[in-house]
Amino acid sequence: MIQVFRGSLLFFTSDPLQDGDAAYQWIEDGLLWVGESGLIERVGAYEQLAGLLIEQQTEQQIQLLDYRGKILLPGFVDCHIHYPQTEMIAAYGTQLLDWLQTHTFPVESRFSDYDYGVSIAERFVTELLRNGTTTALVFGTVHPQSVEAFFSVAQQHRLRMIAGKVMMDRHAPESVLDTAETSYHESKALIEKWHGVDRLSYAVTPRFAPTSTPAQLHMAGRLLAEFPDVYLHTHLSENVDELAWVQSLFPDSEHYLDVYDQAGLLGSRSIFAHGIHLCDDECQRLASSDSVLAHCPSSNLFLGSGLFNLKKMDDYGIRVGIGSDVGGGSSFSAFDSLADAYKIQQLQHHNLDPFRALYLATLGGAKALSLDNKIGSFQPGMEADFIVMDPQATDFLAFRTAHCHNLKETLFVLNTLGDDRVIAATYILGQLAHQRDSHHVPQGEN
């Protein structure tokens, strides 16, 4: 059945950094028209499309869902997250390298069990949808079963997801290690089975330089050469102790990024999480190779990693997406990430305006993942993954947003104070996938 959603529509067509207010469209009383296939067919003002709607209603069944007073926005894109770390979010007391040994590796060792992986993947997907995140770039564990479990669950929910098996052949407990050779074969088998199936894509996923031998990093490069349209997903320059460790493990490399560069891992489908402590040459190389950074504000604060310099990355022209980095990050909510991103820029005397922030969490994320022809905006032919934001989600938000004077203020308040309660509903391919108040069903008019 065709579904037509009425409400305020907000979506980006380009980056506000370049195009300012021309980068977004705000249609106060709009219609989002979704075809049977789950793709967007029409987008426009109610006034303009109402005639067509009435005309078409005489010919076919059309369901009109009334979300007036709420804001329809493309679903959030999370450019860096670990599904196996769902159960260890908010683990106390350590910074990156200790945190990995103390909290992360013991938890990840459980994912040799496929059924366990499925149960955590289900919980993970529930949290994503509850928070309005419809696409993510996801770490599994070293065990291929962990990725089998995740892709199976994502497929059942018809989600657009990118994931991969961790490659890790040193400096961790035996239970979470593979070898250069096995990581190559296991990754290859997963690519052949899952990449391009439904809405799923594969990311070759060496954990980070310290836990891979040079031989394993070269295997990752070999996979990218053999499968040019898979992604590369890893961590880069997150923590100063990590930097020193990388320097001592790879004395022949010019800097951290050079370790990956020497293995052939840079490119337009390569996403590097963090990138906090980068030198100018690294920024230059990221830009010239069209590689991507996933900025993970919540994680950078929680693990005490440092302050990401968004302005500098913008000046270099590096594509940036936003990642929650759960469980290093302490929230699934894009609002928490955007609120933290704002504060991180404030500490550096830079600004992050709410339009740019929401761009980064939607179309910017889609561009970061080279998916902007499919998701991240409201254009005919794009996949109808979207959220319904409720500026009056709580009594206090209703009070606070009533004191906003324009859209920019309202969006900033939502970014800063918002949480999962602001997500009244999440739609995947035009189908309801999460509803905040299950007792509240939007009024169908026919």
Contacts to ligand GUN by CB under 6 A: 82, 96, 100, 104, 207-208, 235, 238, 299, 325, 328
Phi, psi for residue 344 in degrees, rounded to 5: -65, -40
- Rounded to whole angstroms, how far apart are CA atoms 186 and 178? 10
Residue nearest to ligand GUN (CB): 328
Interaction partner, residue 208 (Fe ion, ligand GUN, none; CB < 5-8 Å by kind): ligand GUN
Q: Is 78 in the site for Fe ion (CB under 5 A)?
A: no
- Rounded to whole angstroms, how far apart are CA atoms 382 and 160? 12
Shortest reach from residue 81's CB to ligand GUN, in Å:
10
- Rounded to whole angstroms, how far apart are CA atoms 257 and 236? 7
The CA-atom distances, in angstroms, between 291 and each of 192, 205, 279, 357, 397 are 24, 15, 15, 20, 38
Nearer to Fe ion, 273 or 339 (CB): 273
User: 266, 285 in Cβ contact below 8 A?
Assistant: yes
- Rounded to whole angstroms, how far apart are CA atoms 209 and 257? 9
Nearer to ligand GUN, 100 or 368 (CB): 100
Nearer to ligand GUN, 91 or 266 (CB): 91
Shortest reach from residue 328's CB to Fe ion, in Å:
5
Shortest reach from residue 47's CB to ligand GUN, in Å:
48
Shortest reach from residue 400's CB to Fe ion, in Å:
33
**Longest pairwise C-alpha distance within the chain:** 72
Shortest reach from residue 225's CB to ligand GUN, in Å:
24
Interaction residues for Fe ion, span 256-315 (CB under 5 A): 273
Nearer to Fe ion, 137 or 273 (CB): 273
Size of the site for Fe ion (CB under 5 A): 2
42 bridge partner residues = 33
Interaction partner, residue 356 (Fe ion, ligand GUN, none; CB < 5-8 Å by kind): none
With 0-12 CB in 10 A as exposed, 13-18 as middle and 19+ as buried, what is 284? middle
Nearer to ligand GUN, 63 or 95 (CB): 95
Structure tokens at 276: 């906090």
Nearer to ligand GUN, 80 or 157 (CB): 80
Answer for which of 282, 325, 340, 383 binds Fe ion (CB under 5 A) is 325
Structure tokens at 295: 């900025």
Q: Radius of gyration of the chain from Cα atoms? A: 22
Residue 173 makes CB contacts below 8 A (sequence gap 6+) with 105, 106, 109
- Rounded to whole angstroms, how far apart are CA atoms 252 and 265? 17
- Rounded to whole angstroms, how far apart are CA atoms 197 and 417? 38
Interaction partner, residue 389 (ligand GUN, Fe ion, none; CB < 5-8 Å by kind): none
Structure tokens at 271: 């996403």
Nearer to ligand GUN, 238 or 372 (CB): 238
- Rounded to whole angstroms, how far apart are CA atoms 347 and 17? 20
Interaction partner, residue 100 (Fe ion, ligand GUN, none; CB < 5-8 Å by kind): ligand GUN
Nearer to ligand GUN, 70 or 255 (CB): 255
Interaction partner, residue 386 (ligand GUN, Fe ion, none; CB < 5-8 Å by kind): none
Residue nearest to Fe ion (CB): 325
- Rounded to whole angstroms, how far apart are CA atoms 206 and 239? 17
Shortest reach from residue 269's CB to ligand GUN, in Å:
20
Shortest reach from residue 194's CB to ligand GUN, in Å:
22
Shortest reach from residue 163's CB to ligand GUN, in Å:
14
Instruction: Give the start-end residues of each E strand in 24-172.
Output: 24-34, 40-45, 62-74, 76-82, 133-139, 160-164, 166-167
Residues that bind Fe ion (CB under 5 A): 273, 325
